[in-house]
Chains A and B, each alone.
Chain A
Amino acid sequence: MDLALQLFFTGLGIGAVYALVALGFVLIFRATNVVNFAQGEFSMVGAYLMVVFAVDLQWPYGWAFLAALAGMALLGVIFNLGVYYPLRHRTFLPVIIATIGASIFLANTVLALYGPAPQVLPGWFETPGVQIGPVYLDSQYLLIMAVTIVLVIFNFWFFEHTLLGKKLQATSQDKEMASLLGIPVATMIMLTFVYSALLGGIAGILVAPILFVSIQMGATIALKAFAATIIGGFGDVKGAIIGGLALGVIETFGAAYISVPYKDGFAFLVLVAFLIFRPQGIFGERVAEKA
């Protein structure tokens, strides 16, 4: 039982990271109908920006965090203008290829600027964690879970109860209709990229003290997050969160009780099972051709 509790906690922690990155996938997918394969690199860039501000420049952690977020917002704007905007009238394929290209470009730019050495980013808290009964709670994992909860609530409030959020939703549902109603579609899509870059950056910054900051940190997380979005139902915000958390817990338990070397396999086994038996995911609606 103690063992299961410990595993459950760690699984939720790592699952929360998948969920944050998955959320970024979903938001961009809803706004533009393309999968942004550079979402994982957003996490990596966020973590490196944090290293630059908090470790290299020795800024206070809070300021460094804000500066890193500002950097991520800028990256979102540049990404939108450089990768999505020129291809917006094409089919989704060139855009997807462009995001893959952008992800390779980002990874190699950071490699060229920062070198290949993995970096250490200290956690937000001085204490590494607390022991509650038989379970050790890593303070960074606690922070990740708290931030995920806050962001999910913010997300709900923002998209359902603010005018800007509703404009963003309208844009994602029907661009032509939205623009007929006077919504500046291009700006809305840019804002979506900015928001997704921020989410990715936050996930990277939060997970960096646990996994270290390395060029390939984004790729591993993004692959799992992508699986999480499919399990949750592609395009569904709730689904991304639940899918991410479920994936984290499933792979941790699978590793502990079945096989450690096949840990990554469980995530994708679940993915394959969903693709066969419930391709629309947990929360997705059955896709029908529009008349």
Chain B
Amino acid sequence: MTLSRRRFSAAVSAAVALPGFISRANAQGSTIKIGMCAPITGPAAEQGRYAQTGARLALDAVNKAGGVLGKKVELIIEDDQTTNPGVVLAFSKLSSQPDMVAFIGSIRSTQVHAMAPDVLKVGKPVMIGGTDPALTHMGNQWLFRFRPNDSYSGSVIADYGVNTLGKKKWAIVHSTDAFGTAGGNALATALKKLPGATVALDQGYANQSQDFTPVVLAIKQSGADVLGSYFTFENDLGVFARQLRQLGVNIPWVGSPSVVNVSALKLAGPALYGTFGVADYAEDSSPASKAYGKLYRDATKIAPDNQSSWTYDAMTILCMAINKAGKTDPAAIRAAILAVKGYAGAEGEYNFDANGDGLHGYNIVRNEKGNIVFDKHVESRS
């Protein structure tokens, strides 16, 4: 037999390509792969590190307990650069690998919106932390939320300010991205339902503002007696909080989770003393939250916050669901996640509804001289 040129090149290409196929087949067999889009660079890179830590802590626990479907779980992380194009690119890099079973997406609503069409195309479960209510109400069955959404935070902030603090005249300050706008709207809607409550000022601002003097002066002029806020970035919150105090505004302030998170406390310091925040994660709110707090502190030596607790819960529940489903088929995993009821996670008790929302209540915490103190848990009525 003579070796034709065509046969020779076919043989060479096979020889070159075969090891790749074999190693891929091996990889497919040996581990369960979960992809994660997290900000490694960009403005949220610090929070991204917390999120990765949370997911890894859960991963270690799962693997120590025998993994999923008898295999080790592997977490593959791509940088979303804290931008919308970045998250789309990161997700497409991850989802192009056929052996990815499921994904952990972003905590930022705007990014989840950006990646949502691709999620629908890929058709595999994506765990999210973005709190824009629309995310689980726009017909995308593959998004599962591990934080309470803003329709609940809005009603809890309104309820606490009006019924517990007894304040009726509100100033609302929110960023103009998807998270801030949705949050501001949710709070305004919730206030409309409470008798006597009025919105004196509804003020949006663009992210990464260097100066909040106009906003603070508008609050002052509105005569509001309570402030509700939805800040996306902690450095904006820090600048705002300091200018608010400098210009003499000292009305009670009930804010979205960023008011009580670790980086905001470090940046704003005393300017945030005495504020209230809705927090999906509060260390003293339940035994499971306490246990997670200890685990996180032991691993990192810093205080835990929601940036890591949601990915911890997402990873734990996802692995639990795959085990329960008994296979890596996306529809089976989806059914198993939606069947989770009464599971005590770090963030609270998970009871998934048909939309894919796992949590339905918030903790109210207050900042006592820099320490976050648990006040009470409010389950939303809306």
- Give the B-binding residues of A (Cβ under 8 A): 3, 6-7, 10, 14, 108, 111, 115-118, 120, 128-129, 136, 138, 210-212, 214-216, 220-221, 252, 255-256, 260-264
Check A117–B46 contact: CB distance below 8 A.
Answer: yes
Of the residues A14, A116, A129, A220, contact of B46 by C-beta under 8 Å = A116
Of the residues A116, A120, A260, contact of B269 by C-beta under 8 Å = A120
Check A116–B48 contact: CB distance below 8 A.
Answer: yes
Check A14–B235 contact: CB distance below 8 A.
Answer: no
- Please indicate the chain B residues that have their CB under 8 angstroms from the CB of A260 in the complex: 203-206, 214-215, 218
In the bound complex, how far is the Cα of B239 from the Cα of A233, in angstroms?
31
- Please indicate the chain B residues that have their CB under 8 angstroms from the CB of A7 in the complex: 213-214, 217
B266 an interface residue at 8 Å Cβ cutoff? yes
Which of A111, A115, A116, A215 gathers most chain B CB within 10 Å?
A: A116
Contact pattern, B 49-78, Cβ under 8 Å of A = 1, otherwise 0: 100000000000000000000000000000
Check B235–A118 contact: CB distance below 8 A.
Answer: yes
How close is B13's CB to chain A, nearest CB, in angstroms? Answer: 38
- CB closest residue in chain B, given A221: B210
B208 an interface residue at 8 Å Cβ cutoff? yes
Check A116–B206 contact: CB distance below 8 A.
Answer: no
User: Which 5 pairs from chain A and chain B are nearest by CB?
Assistant: A116-B45, A256-B214, A255-B214, A10-B213, A117-B46
Check A6–B203 contact: CB distance below 8 A.
Answer: no
Check A136–B214 contact: CB distance below 8 A.
Answer: no
Check A120–B246 contact: CB distance below 8 A.
Answer: no
- Please indicate the chain A residues that have their CB under 8 angstroms from the CB of B211 in the complex: 10, 14, 252, 255
B221 an interface residue at 8 Å Cβ cutoff? yes
How close is A14's CB to chain B, nearest CB, in angstroms? Answer: 5
In the bound complex, how far is the Cα of B342 from the Cα of A145, in angstroms?
59
- Please indicate the chain B residues that have their CB under 8 angstroms from the CB of A120 in the complex: 266-267, 269
Check A115–B46 contact: CB distance below 8 A.
Answer: yes
- CB closest residue in chain A, given B239: A211
Of the residues A14, A118, A256, A261, contact of B234 by C-beta under 8 Å = A118
Contacting A at CB under 8 A, from B237-277, are 238-239, 246-248, 263, 266-267, 269
- Please indicate the chain A residues that have their CB under 8 angstroms from the CB of B42 in the complex: 216
Check B239–A14 contact: CB distance below 8 A.
Answer: no
Check B43–A136 contact: CB distance below 8 A.
Answer: no
B209 an interface residue at 8 Å Cβ cutoff? yes
Of the residues B41, B48, B238, contact of A108 by C-beta under 8 Å = B41
B176 an interface residue at 8 Å Cβ cutoff? yes
- Please indicate the chain B residues that have their CB under 8 angstroms from the CB of A252 in the complex: 211, 213-214
From known contacts A111-B45, A116-B46, infer whether A210 and B215 are also in contact, taking CB-CB under 8 Å.
no
